[in-house]
């Protein structure tokens, strides 16, 4: 199988990561309004992309950053708080 295109909708990717840097395509048309980069400062999107490439080495990753860094942290924190409250 060749030309497998996989979109990763997450926190972006580390474009300098040695396992990813030659295996992704940046497409501005796919990006979310208001998010102007695919830089992953959290690391989750990078981990997802690397996992995909390990299982499907012929894939090309199309990173789509759907969380800006602050929104992601806020969402994770809110989810954590909700889970804590459920267990009280």
* H or E segment to which residue 61 belongs: strand 59-65
Question: How far apart are alpha carbons 84 and 63 in whole angstroms?
Answer: 32
pLDDT reading at 71 higher than 80: no
pLDDT of amino acid 69 = 66
What are the CA-CA distances from residue 55 to residues 3, 8, 13, 52, 58 (Å)? 15, 14, 17, 5, 9
- pTM value is 0.77
For residue range 1-52, what is the model confidence (pLDDT) as tens digits? 678 999 999 989 999 999 999 999 999 998 888 888 999 988 989 999 999 9
Question: How far apart are alpha carbons 16 and 39 in whole angstroms?
Answer: 10
């Amino acid at each position: 199988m060749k030309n497998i295109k996989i979109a990763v909708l997450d926190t972006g990717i580390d474009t300098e990561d040695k396992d990813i840097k030659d295996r992704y395509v940046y497409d501005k048309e796919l990006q979310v309004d208001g998010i102007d980069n695919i830089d992953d400062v959290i690391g989750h999107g990078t981990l997802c992309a690397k996992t995909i490439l390990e299982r499907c080495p012929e894939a090309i990753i199309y990173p789509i950053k759907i969380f800006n860094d602050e929104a992601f942290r806020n969402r994770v924190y809110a989810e954590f708080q909700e889970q804590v409250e459920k267990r009280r």
